[in-house]
């Protein structure tokens, strides 16, 4: 489902083509206006991850084809900002939630991250609905006012959501217990 980013001709070409779709491009944080620029940005992303500044993964479909990226940017004090995009042909097929779940497991259990923030443009209804479907995500415009105001220093542009590690872990345990309860007892 996820793999480390690579500067691979097929992967970069596929991701660049998916990223430039008009329904996707406005919401991509690292915009590239040419294939060469995309390759350059991918190299920079890999180097930034090696320095511990971010975590970046390629999202794969069930046949291991690249379909988007998921990233944790601006890591500071065990917290960072999530950035995800998935190519238009893959919207509405469950890849977003699966990718987030795999990424959160990696961040919280392997990368020592405590908090994941999601800044979502207030007009990006698709992303807001996706965030609100996550049982472990909280809208924190009012409770994390310092972060919210920093994001919106030039006017109200973003809503702020938070995924705290403890809430994610509680949800994971609850889901695991529910699965156990539905398993038939063996005699």
Q: Name the token pair of 45.
A: 């992303």
Instruction: Say if CB 173 and CB 180 are below 8 A apart.
Output: no
* pTM (2 d.p.): 0.89
Higher pLDDT, 89 or 133: 89
Per-domain residue ranges of the chain: 2-182
Q: Name the token pair of 129.
A: 């609905």
The top-level CATH class assigned to 2-182 is alpha beta
72-111: string of b/e by CB count within 10 Å (b at 16+)?
bbebeeebbbbbbbbbbebeeeebbeebbbebbebbbeee
pLDDT digits (tens, 9 = 90+) for 172-183: 998 778 777 666
d(CA 6, CA 11): 8
pLDDT digits (tens, 9 = 90+) for 85-122: 999 999 999 998 899 999 999 999 999 999 999 999 99
């Amino acid at each position: 489902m996820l793999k480390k980013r690579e500067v691979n001709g097929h992967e970069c070409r596929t991701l660049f083509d998916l990223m430039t779709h008009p329904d996707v491009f406005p919401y991509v944080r690292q915009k590239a206006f040419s294939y060469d620029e995309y390759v350059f940005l991918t190299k920079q992303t890999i180097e930034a991850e090696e320095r511990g500044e971010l975590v970046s993964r390629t999202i794969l479909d069930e046949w291991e084809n690249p379909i988007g990226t998921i990233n944790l940017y601006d890591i500071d004090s065990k917290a960072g900002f999530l950035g995800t995009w998935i190519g238009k042909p893959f919207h509405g097929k469950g890849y977003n939630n699966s990718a987030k779940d795999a990424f959160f497991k990696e961040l919280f259990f392997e990368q020592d991250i405590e908090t994941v923030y999601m800044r979502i443009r207030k007009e990006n209804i698709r992303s807001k609905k996706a965030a609100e479907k996550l049982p472990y995500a909280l809208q924190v415009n009012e409770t994390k006012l310092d972060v919210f105001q920093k994001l919106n220093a030039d006017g109200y542009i973003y809503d702020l959501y938070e995924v705290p590690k403890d809430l994610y872990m509680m949800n994971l345990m609850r889901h695991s217990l529910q699965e156990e309860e539905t398993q038939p007892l063996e005699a």
